[in-house]
Structure 1
Amino acid sequence: MIRYRLEPSDVSAVRFGISPLSELGLGLRAFRAPERYPLQRPWTDRIAGVLPLLDREVLSGLVDERRWVADFVNPRPDSPLTSFDDELRALGRIRPERLRSDLERVHGTVPAVFAGRHDRVVERLQQALATTWELCFAPYWPRMRRVLQADVAHRGRVAAHEGIGAVLAGLSESVRFDGRHVDVRLNSPIARDRPVQGEGLTLVPSVFVVRASTPIDDDLPPTVMYPARGQGAMWSTASHPDAGAVRDLLGRTRAALLDALGEPASSTDLAMRFGVSTSAVNQHLRVMERGGLLNRTRYGRAVLYYRSTVGDALVRRE
């Protein structure tokens, strides 16, 4: 069991994050044991044809038969808006000793594929992950991200109405919270008692965990990865609207903005991208938000817009 000890100031600093790289890392479990992830069977069936194109030697070196995954492919996300490209670039700066220690915690030794010059090992690792993302995750990431964002939004509402304690207690059957301690029961002999001490506790929803899990390395920032709610409907089929009809319905500019907002963006970013004024973009965004096609969130001083589930249904490409 892992215990995170929280002071009152730590409880108020609990936050959520979404990590594309972590989803890829945890998704390697489904590569190894697809029968353990029946809700993701439609995904594993769809990607079966591209698996021979992947660097299976590298990917197999990141996860073992217990489905333990190397911590460096489960980074703690900085926000709900972290991008895969940013996380992959950060991974390129990994220190040799961190790479070795994370792999040794999983396998007891460093797999042969990760032996050799550090820069070449990291380059091959990045390429293997980039290819896996492009072929297996990117085409389906909008669906996965919708589930993760909806989970975070739901738990945010729970926190607002019932407090963060209700959120922590409701993450998973394997998580307990008594007001001071977050206890995570694992299917492993690992046991530790760790104070958070101002580092912050990050809660990371995932579609590839059956029960809550934590980093293997005790020195890593306190993080709990937990099963996202709503996975059962993630692969439900829906009709694909005609793109021309969407333009006729919304108008060319709003249809283009809606299409662009598969990833969060600010009105300033969108104005620069489309060569129009920020005020004009804001007007369109507000109308689409009121119409339920967009959601918005604040990140620092910026307001970011992104498609809602309804908006996704209008432009769905998967």
Structure 2
Amino acid sequence: MLSYVLNEADVAAVRFGISPLCELGLSLRAIRDPSRFPLQLPWLRRTEAARAELDLDALTGLIDDRLWTPDFLNPRPTSPLTRLDDEMAALRSISPAEFERDLVAVHGRIPEVFAGSPRAAIRRLADALDELWAATFEPYWPRMRAVLEADVVYRGRQIAQQGLAAMLNGISGTVDYEGGVVRVRLRDPNDRVQPIDGLGLTLVPTMFTRRGSAPVGDGPPMIMYPARGQGALWEAEHVANPAAVAAVLGETRARLLSALGDPASSTELGVRFGVTASAVNQHLRVLRDAGLVVSTRYGHSVLYLRSELGASLLAAGR
């Protein structure tokens, strides 16, 4: 059990971040044990051939049988707009002492693949991660990022409507908040209590965890939790069609309106419905102009959400 103790100032400083490097490191869990990540099986199938050409010795040396990864793969993001290039530059410049300490914290030793010169080992693992990104993440990152950003928007809406406690108690079944303490039930049998002490608690949605998790060491306070909407990322979605609404709006627009109970980008919707993002954008503009959906810019993405008028129309149609 890991307990983060928040004072009044810390409660106000809870924030969200998205980390491409964190996603990259945590994806090694799905690669190592696909059976534990059924929602990502389509991604694993699509990238299987590309992964066969990678430096698998270096990549597998970063994860142990418990599916733990070293903390240098889980940097605390400063915002939801963190860039992989910045995170990789920081990784390449970590000190040999930090590199070896984080590996030992996971493995109890330095894995053989990283024995010898620490600087050479850091270069090798960074090169391996760059290749993993290019082969298996870069083609799909806009879709993944859309899901992660939509989750952050949803959690922010929860805080505004229901309060911080409701949001924290809803991010994972292994995370709960009460009396100023956030508890994360980890597989680590050791109990840890860590005051926030003005450092801020960062919440990081991810595609590659099924439960709340945290860094192995006593680094900056951070909780990684499963992002909502993962299951819809890889497969086309078939939404029940309210026939009366479809007769007015058309089948595609009615399906989009039905799906927008939670915020989503045109890229994500295109993947879910198996159509191009440009076609989705045309329909979304019509729905927005009619007042049936609202949009908000989030970083480089535009997220759409069903408006009260749109919800009323669906309710009447049903």
Contact 2:296/2:304 (<8 A) preserved: no
Whole-angstrom CA distance in 1 between matches of 2:136 and 2:94: 24
Matched, 1:234 2:229: no
Residue 44 of structure 2 corresponds to 44
TM-score where L is the length of structure 1: 0.78
**How much identity, in percent, do the aligned residues show?**
48
Residue 303 of structure 2 corresponds to 308
Residue 197 of structure 2 corresponds to 197
SS in structure 1 of the partner of residue 138 of structure 2? helix
Matched, 1:223 2:222: yes
Whole-angstrom CA distance in 1 between matches of 2:212 and 2:16: 14
Post-superposition shift, 1:115?
Answer: 2.0
RMSD: 2.4
Contact 1:295/1:305 (<8 A) preserved: no
SS in structure 2 of the partner of residue 210 of structure 1? coil
What does residue range 141-160 of structure 1 map to in structure 2 within 5 Å? 141-160=141-160
Whole-angstrom CA distance in 1 between matches of 2:293 and 2:127: 38
Q: Which runs of 5+ in 2 are unaligned?
A: 237-272, 306-318
Post-superposition shift, 1:307?
Answer: 3.5
Residue 209 of structure 1 corresponds to 209
Per-residue deviation, residues 124-173 of structure 1 (Å, max 9, x unmatched): 11110000001011111122111111110000001111211111111111
Whole-angstrom CA distance in 1 between matches of 2:41 and 2:108: 31
Residue 296 of structure 1 corresponds to 297
Number of equivalenced pairs? 265
Contact 2:14/2:203 (<8 A) preserved: yes
TM-score where L is the length of structure 2: 0.78
Residue 125 of structure 2 corresponds to 125
SS in structure 2 of the partner of residue 161 of structure 1? helix
Whole-angstrom CA distance in 1 between matches of 2:203 and 2:125: 26
Opposite residue 231 of structure 1, the aligned amino acid is Q
What does residue range 48-67 of structure 1 map to in structure 2 within 5 Å? 48-67=48-67
Contact 1:165/1:179 (<8 A) preserved: no
Per-residue deviation, residues 232-274 of structure 1 (Å, max 9, x unmatched): 211123334397x899x69xxxxxxxxxxxxxxxxxxxxxxxx
Opposite residue 239 of structure 1, the aligned amino acid is G
Post-superposition shift, 1:109?
Answer: 0.1
Per-residue deviation, residues 29-69 of structure 1 (Å, max 9, x unmatched): 00110000001110111111112111111111110011011
Matched, 1:22 2:22: yes
Opposite residue 41 of structure 1, the aligned amino acid is L
Post-superposition shift, 1:293?
Answer: 9.3
Whole-angstrom CA distance in 2 between matches of 1:102 and 1:307: 38
Whole-angstrom CA distance in 2 between matches of 1:187 and 1:240: 41
Post-superposition shift, 1:294?
Answer: 6.2
Opposite residue 123 of structure 1, the aligned amino acid is R
Contact 1:146/1:309 (<8 A) preserved: no
Whole-angstrom CA distance in 1 between matches of 2:55 and 2:300: 36
Whole-angstrom CA distance in 2 between matches of 1:137 and 1:101: 28
Opposite residue 131 of structure 1, the aligned amino acid is E
Opposite residue 222 of structure 2, the aligned amino acid is T
Change (3 A) 1:93 1:294: farther
Contact 2:150/2:303 (<8 A) preserved: no
Residue 173 of structure 2 corresponds to 173
Whole-angstrom CA distance in 2 between matches of 1:230 and 1:305: 19
Residue 31 of structure 1 corresponds to 31
Change (3 A) 1:81 1:292: farther
Whole-angstrom CA distance in 1 between matches of 2:294 and 2:133: 27
Whole-angstrom CA distance in 1 between matches of 2:129 and 2:296: 30
Q: Which runs of 5+ in 1 are unaligned?
A: 251-286, 298-303, 311-318
